[in-house]
Amino acid sequence: MFNQMDIISAVLQKHFGFSSLKAFQKEVLDAWFGHEDCVLLAAIGSGAFSVILLFIFCNLLLPLM
């Protein structure tokens, strides 16, 4: 049986070519899965732009969860 992180890792690799998420990106996903509001403040160059891709990523995950 696959756990939630296995599914996330597989979709992340297949569609975006990343092998893992950064800690703050995982926190954003946790908030999304928990139906919580989230505000992200991150430094330039930290990968915050890829958080925008998380919304696309989440839509790819919905049918799998």
Look at residue 52 in the predicted model and tell me its pLDDT: 67
Judge whether 25 and 51 are in contact, CB under 8 Å: yes
Q: Tell me: the pLDDT tens digits for 1-33?
A: 557 777 778 888 888 788 888 888 888 878 877
* Angstrom distances, CA of residue 37 to CA of 14, 23, 62: 27, 17, 18
What predicted TM-score, i.e. pTM, was given to this entire model?
0.60
Instruction: Look at residue 25 and give its three-state secondary structure.
Output: helix
Give pairs for 6-10: CB < 8 Å, separation 24+.
7/61, 7/64, 7/65, 8/61
